[in-house]
Structure 1
Amino acid sequence: MSECIHVLHVIRAMDRGGAETMIMNLYRHIDRSRIKFDFLVHVENKCDYDDEILKLGGRIFHIIPYRIYNYGSYKSQFKKLLEAHPEIQIVHGHIGSSASVYLRVANKLGRYTIAHSHALNKMDNLSDIIFKIMTLDNRWISDYYLGCSYQAGVDQYGKKVVSSEKFKVLNNSIDASKYVYDSEIQRKMKTSLGMEGKIVFGHVGRFIPLKNHTFLLEVFSEIVKIEPKAEFILVGRGGLEDKIKRKVQDMKLVDKVHFLGVREDIPELMIMMDGFVFPSIHEGLGIVAVEAQAAGLPCLISEGVPDEAIVTRCVKREQIAAGAKVWAETILDMYKNIPRINRLEEIRTANYDIYETVKQLENIYTKAVNEEK
């Protein structure tokens, strides 16, 4: 075994999403004198985290996006990459449609393989069904399996794998100390965004169907009817962003809803908010809900968010079918009655603090390179 363990993370792109942010949290806190991260991405353009990856000592490799029709060329490119870099000992695949290809190639070349599920696949449409079929092989070809929750594991690998010693839930952890509520930070952030004296509710997430932004706007509209001082921030980007902006105009909420795009200061934004609304259709975990709780925020979540994401006493769950008016009344009641306090110990007790997760992952990698292939 070489002195440093080399791990190749395979993922679509290293932009600011839940899985990508979790990987970067691990990278920042892992012992980089012992464990080296490299990244294989399926885009040519520069990604949000590229500069930081390079600064931390990682390398970024590029490969063509996988399509069924380019199976041969994709497989060949990945094989050549591993053959050119024998120092890579572990291939840590963050599940995608190409995982069944690159994990199998890595196994044949004697590399230890880890499949990591960060989300659920509800098979709501044809593309979901195709993705499910294309990833079925993943449950048979990896040496080890990780999931951000029990259900994310079952959904991706099946109950047989999840009930075996080859599977582990690895919490999508955060540096919880950065989220501790501070009234002065809250005041300064509101001032910087021109929201002094306002009650700020927010949401963090990509503009994609499962995040349910249309319903979110309906909730915001009902909140304004009850509390005129309320304002709303939406953090993120995605394919539906323009559609949601048009809907904000149609609902005459332009002066109330603020689109902040992709931000690096998520802890400060969470501290600034007065309430967090998270009506996802479904989530593998929903790490932003954990971040919101770490900031002591009253959090109203949907039935689509798994139980593992509820780690403090400042959370309530509501059915989406209950309607926007009920959601508005509930989050306003939570804002008035849930004290804004330090939730750090609750986060740590639930094992969502990054330091505990780093230890678990270091143990997995160390054990892997000591196993016979």
Structure 2
Amino acid sequence: MSMGVTRDPDRPVRALHLVGPMNRGGVESWLMTLLRHADRRVLALDLLTTAEQPAAYDEEIRSLGARLLRLPPASPLSYRSKLLGLLRAYGPYDAVHSHLHFFSGWPLLAARQAEVPVRAITSHIDSRSLDRQASRLRHVYHAAARQLILRSANRKMAVSPEAAAALYGDGWMRRGVTIERLGLDLSALRTLSARDETLRELGLPTDEPVLLSVGRLDKAKNHLFLLDVFAAFLAHHGRGQLLLAGEGPERKHIERRRAERGLTERVHLLGSRPDVPRLLHAADVFILPSLYEGLALALVEAQVVGLPCVIAGQLTPASRLPGAFYRTPFLTDDLSVWVDALNQALAAGRRPGDGSAFDVRTNIQSLLKVYRA
């Protein structure tokens, strides 16, 4: 049965976003920003999550009037069949928008078979370093998935050129892929909060340098290397505090390395936090030594509030804002180079970057153009 429709211009544009668990993270926080700011009379967003268990944002999603559907990953054919059923039950949708990287081909195929007018996909991650290490069978899967995506999607996007190359291949520009900014609530980021008050709430001294890193505790964020950098920083400075905001599978490894380095009293694992802007206003330097990123939204946020940043040199320039202060040592550099970069960042002080290109209102208008096309 065809589910293709001619859209009534007087009703809202309806889009179904396909995501993983809605816990705090870059993609998830961006989607929540969209939900909080989009007028559902104009753009009505629903979410389809692969998560079987409740996640951090689930309750707020429903409170904002969005439908939250669940479809745990299964065999591709089973997933496609169940998704067709959901599209029949809850549609019609003007757009299905996937954020599931290589797995996106199957839901986009289902959307094409359901005659959803816009089948969109955004690549959020530069996974090439991991992909190169994959097994031969995995390479075959990636090649097949890429072809399925290219055949099924009629709107192909990425958050950076690096993320585009990872999902669509080196010829991504010839394949009609566009680079799209993600939206941030700039006014919330710019709302000042008292540094000393936040630090006292965390039980931290207010007269020491505070370094902050925000991101999921997984190998890609390179926290073990960060602890080595911080130990070298302390050897030079004698004092300082490192805040790690985020949760993930590497927590136990980070705790073990922290203890081995004698850093237990100075490295603070804060877990998943709803108040990242407060932390950004309380810190003195933002540090991000990730192995790879698609677009580091936490880094963009840090620059908006004016934090000087020290980031791994291989990360995409798409995350850097005009006017912001950043240093870009490479992961292969000696630890002393990282310490020197941190010293320069501390001396620089706050310099807000121009984040206007990431304004959520601009992002919503851009998505409406995609979904109405």
Question: Which residue, out of 224, 237, 259, partners 2:247?
Answer: 237
Corresponding residue for 2:368? 362
Please state how far the C-alpha of 1:129 moved relative to its aligned partner.
Answer: 3.9
1:291-310 residue pairs with structure 2 within 5 A?
Answer: 291-310=301-320
* DSSP-derived class of the 2:268 partner: strand
C-alpha separation in 2, matches of 1:358 and 1:317: 31
Q: Does 1:89 align with 2:94?
A: yes
TM-score (norm 1): 0.91
Q: Which amino acid aligns with 1:139?
A: L
* DSSP-derived class of the 1:283 partner: coil
Q: Does 1:220 align with 2:226?
A: no
Question: Which residue, out of 199, 212, 217, partners 1:207?
Answer: 217
Please state how far the C-alpha of 1:202 moved relative to its aligned partner.
Answer: 1.1
User: Does the 8 Å CA contact 1:96/1:135 hold for their aligned counterparts?
Assistant: no
Q: Deviations over 1:154-180 (max 9, x none)?
A: 22113544345x432111231122223
Corresponding residue for 2:157? 146
Q: Does 1:332 align with 2:343?
A: yes
* DSSP-derived class of the 1:232 partner: strand
Corresponding residue for 2:143? 133
Alignment length (residue pairs): 357
Please state how far the C-alpha of 1:265 moved relative to its aligned partner.
Answer: 0.3
C-alpha separation in 2, matches of 1:131 and 1:50: 31
Corresponding residue for 1:156? 167
C-alpha separation in 1, matches of 2:341 and 2:191: 22
Q: Does 1:259 align with 2:269?
A: yes
Q: Deviations over 1:73-122 (max 9, x none)?
A: 22211111112223222100113343111101111111020011101121
Corresponding residue for 2:3? none
Q: Which amino acid aligns with 1:90?
A: A
C-alpha separation in 2, matches of 1:315 and 1:130: 39
Identity rate, percent: 26
Corresponding residue for 1:321? 332
Listed as ranges, the gaps of 5+ residues in structure 1 are 368-373
User: Does the 8 Å CA contact 2:20/2:100 hold for their aligned counterparts?
Assistant: no
Corresponding residue for 2:36? 28
1:268-287 residue pairs with structure 2 within 5 A?
Answer: 268-287=278-297
RMSD of Structure 2 on Structure 1 (CA): 1.8
C-alpha separation in 1, matches of 2:126 and 2:355: 23
C-alpha separation in 2, matches of 1:56 and 1:249: 42
Please state how far the C-alpha of 1:124 moved relative to its aligned partner.
Answer: 4.2
Q: Does 1:289 align with 2:299?
A: yes
User: Does the 8 Å CA contact 1:95/1:118 hold for their aligned counterparts?
Assistant: no
Question: Which residue, out of 17, 21, 24, partners 1:13?
Answer: 21
Q: Which amino acid aligns with 1:79?
A: L
C-alpha separation in 1, matches of 2:330 and 2:190: 29
* DSSP-derived class of the 1:98 partner: helix
Question: Which residue, out of 65, 76, 79, partners 1:57?
Answer: 65
* DSSP-derived class of the 1:322 partner: coil
1:339-354 residue pairs with structure 2 within 5 A?
Answer: 339-343=349-353, 346-348=354-356, 351-354=357-360
Please state how far the C-alpha of 1:187 moved relative to its aligned partner.
Answer: 2.0
C-alpha separation in 2, matches of 1:181 and 1:76: 46
Q: Which amino acid aligns with 1:145?
A: K
Please state how far the C-alpha of 1:233 moved relative to its aligned partner.
Answer: 0.4
Corresponding residue for 1:119? 125
Please state how far the C-alpha of 1:237 moved relative to its aligned partner.
Answer: 1.0
